[in-house]
Amino acid sequence: ADGELVQYHYGLKDLVTILFYIFIAIILHAVVQEYALDKINRRLHLSKVKHSKFNESGQLVAFHLTSMVWCLYVVVTEGYISNPRSLWENYPHVYLPFQVKFFYLCQLAYWLHALPELYFQKVRKEEIPRQLRCIALYLVHIAGAYLLNLTRLGLILLLLQYLAEFFFHMARLVYFTDENNEKLFNVWAIVFVVTRLFTLTLYILVIGFGLPRVENQALDPERGNFFSFLFNNILFRMSVLLLVCLFQASVMWRFIHFQLRRWREYWNEQSSRKRAAAGAKQQAKPLKRDSGYHENGVVKAENGTSLRTKKLKSP
């Protein structure tokens, strides 16, 4: 009927939809590579290693920017930001609006398409384990939020994650075009710390205070209620929060270690440049001559006479 609100649930037919959008993602990936990244690479004349990293960051910048804008539009129109209580109220969130379900299916399709792209892009063997680990983490978290009916929390977390990742890969692109320009890495560092703090706060708010207050606390897998009865147990709730805090602490530790190494390399490079400049100045200083001075190209003695030996004329 007119005005009827249609909502959706997940099922086996989602696999067919995801497969279709995997092919769409592969086509879009090839379009971005052919008409944007390859043309820029021809102008920059990058090495093979930088060429591969430039392509990776270029593809992810396009994806993260699109996903970030799309995700922001979804959470604003659905009212998840204006009403934070909606993240846990009426859990489980079994039935989804169309735009939420479509967003999750497209996210799963993109990260699944990244697996055959490792072969199509001829990624180096040294880079494959790192990229496989990244793809697996995204798939586990997105599929987990989708199947366990935590889609609202997952949208906010994805928005924060994509915001930090966008600035990181954008900073890499700028660095490849100009190695002396690292200002955007400083912006990424600030955004990364802020998003980690928001992520940790969101976990504590939803897991520590939101889900334990859900009215239906009974385990009911048929209705999609998997967690609320567990979070009613304070021991389980504190254990989960401890694991979340430890994971975020490990991420921050790796980030701090990366920043310290980067600053150390920067200061070593600056000190080496200063030493090279000081050595060049010393070499450029004129040599002092103890005897005489130059006048019209002839070396003169202190009394003004020439130092050249005079030839005696034969009588």
Residue 236 identity (one-letter amino acid):
F
For residue 215, is pLDDT > 60?
yes
pTM for this entry: 0.80
Residue 227 neighbours by CB distance under 10 Å:
20
| Confidence at residue 288, expressed as pLDDT on a 0 to 100 scale | 53
> Within a domain: residue 315?
no
Whether the CB-CB separation of 36 and 124 falls below 8 Å is answered with no
**Average pLDDT, rounded, for the chain:** 83
> Within a domain: residue 91?
yes
For residue 18, is pLDDT > 70?
yes
The residue among 2 and 249 whose pLDDT is bigger is: 249
- Measured between alpha carbons, how far is 86 from 154 in angstroms, rounded to an integer? 13
- Residue 207 CB contacts under 8 Å (≥ 6 apart), including other chains: 231, 237, 240, 241, 244
Can you give the residue range of the structural domain that contains 151?
7-270
> Within a domain: residue 314?
no
For residue 162, is pLDDT > 90?
yes
> Within a domain: residue 20?
yes
| Confidence at residue 298, expressed as pLDDT on a 0 to 100 scale | 52
> Within a domain: residue 312?
no
What is the domain count for the chain? 1
> Within a domain: residue 141?
yes
- Measured between alpha carbons, how far is 181 from 183 in angstroms, rounded to an integer? 6
